[in-house]
Structure 1
């Protein structure tokens, strides 16, 4: 299904009945990342997935997709569907957007799960990497995207998940160059939202990978502690929905039941 938001097409799916769960994908992903998870969760819940601006089947909206702008598209879809309260699950970039939604609509959030994500802002080093990538991508889009995807997995999993990784790369290449740059700019400029997580009265869960190449493990442990969030640790990388899918679905079901 498609919703028009400020003259931009926003693609979304809506499956199942029950407590509403909004699944928000990460950078260079789209709603298809949840294809193996949605059927399980929609048995007892109403599951909404959304293609973020510049990703999948959704259009771009300008040249900087801030977390607030991303969140606005999510809100528009939920308003269109007349949904008042919901649980958020955000992978990586999706987690940053979830925190922005929690900041602006705390009373509507029943639970928030950060999947391989963080409430911390970008380090200065990562900001420089994003700036450099945005310059490189205009001439080396395909090679840069493919390399970026491979780097998200625990190195020991590259052969085991070869087919899945190729599928992720194929979907990632559906992201427009404009969408790539706009999302990177938005992530680079996002604010620290530790306080949103710490002060939230909703159910909170951090799911992290011990070998995540994007998020420093010790920092994630400290974040969970200081924000009083439940913590689940998997032994692999940044792509827990693939590297630890079966265990992740069990964690999700337990989390949703307790929200």
Structure 2
């Protein structure tokens, strides 16, 4: 399904009936990342998946897509569908978008799961990497995506999940250069939203991978100790929906049933 939005369209899907679960994909991903989870989740919930700005079948609306811009697009879909309450799961960049949405519409949330994601802002080193990547994207996009994509998987996962690796890499390569740059620019601008996460009413869950090169598991665990945020660590890398599929499904089902 498509929703007209700011001279473009937002693509989304709705599956099942019941309480609402919103699934938000990460950078260079699409709603397809949730395909293996929707049949199980939709038995008890209405599952809404949304292609974020500049990704999948959703159009770019500018040369910078802030996390607030993406949250506004998500909110437009939820208002269109008359959704008043939802559990939200965000993978990587999808978690940043979910936190921006929680700041705008805290009353919407019955729970928030940050999956291979963080509430922290980019440090200066990460901002510099994003800036350099955006420059390279203008001239050597294919190689840039291929080189950076390997970092998302634990080393052994690139072999044991070879088919999935190639499939998700192709999806990443299909993202437009404008979508890539606009999202990178937006991620650089996001603030630390730990307090937003803490203040959400309902179940709060942080899922990280022990071998994740993008998210510091020990650092995040220390910052959520002695809070109402639950913490789960999986054994592999950034792509838990591939590398730790059964364990992730278990934790997400527990999350949405609370």
TM bucket normalised to smaller: over 0.9
> In structure 2, how many angstroms separate the alpha carbons of the residues matched to 1:256 and 1:44?
10
> In structure 1, how many angstroms separate the alpha carbons of the residues matched to 2:167 and 2:161?
10
Aligned to 1:129: 129
Contact 2:217 2:233 in 1 (8 A): no
Q: CA deviation at 1:104?
A: 1.1
TM-score if structure 2 supplies the norm length? 0.98
Q: How does 1:13-92 map to 2 (within 5 A)?
A: 13-92=13-92
Q: CA deviation at 1:148?
A: 1.8
Contact 2:19 2:86 in 1 (8 A): yes
Contact 1:198 1:226 in 2 (8 A): no
Deviation sequence 1:169-211 (CA, Å, 0-9, x none): 1111121100000000000010110110122222100000011
> In structure 2, how many angstroms separate the alpha carbons of the residues matched to 1:123 and 1:141?
24
Number of positions where the alignment pairs a residue of Structure 1 with one of Structure 2? 258
SS in structure 2 opposite 1:159? helix
> In structure 1, how many angstroms separate the alpha carbons of the residues matched to 2:135 and 2:5?
29
> In structure 2, how many angstroms separate the alpha carbons of the residues matched to 1:223 and 1:115?
16
Q: Which runs of 5+ in 2 are unaligned?
A: none
Aligned to 2:145: 145
Aligned to 2:240: 240
Contact 2:111 2:200 in 1 (8 A): no
SS in structure 2 opposite 1:10? strand
Aligned to 1:250: 250
SS in structure 2 opposite 1:44? coil
> In structure 2, how many angstroms separate the alpha carbons of the residues matched to 1:196 and 1:226?
16
Deviation sequence 1:196-240 (CA, Å, 0-9, x none): 012222210000001110011211212322653101110111000
Q: How does 1:110-259 map to 2 (within 5 A)?
A: 110-225=110-225, 227-258=227-258
Contact 1:86 1:111 in 2 (8 A): yes
Q: Which runs of 5+ in 1 are unaligned?
A: none
Aligned to 1:108: 108
- What is the aligned-residue RMSD (CA, Å)? 0.9
SS in structure 2 opposite 1:151? helix
Runs of 4+ in 1 over 3 A off after TM superposition: none
Deviation sequence 1:142-170 (CA, Å, 0-9, x none): 11112222110111211001110000011
> In structure 2, how many angstroms separate the alpha carbons of the residues matched to 1:123 and 1:228?
25
Contact 1:197 1:227 in 2 (8 A): no
> In structure 1, how many angstroms separate the alpha carbons of the residues matched to 2:102 and 2:225?
19
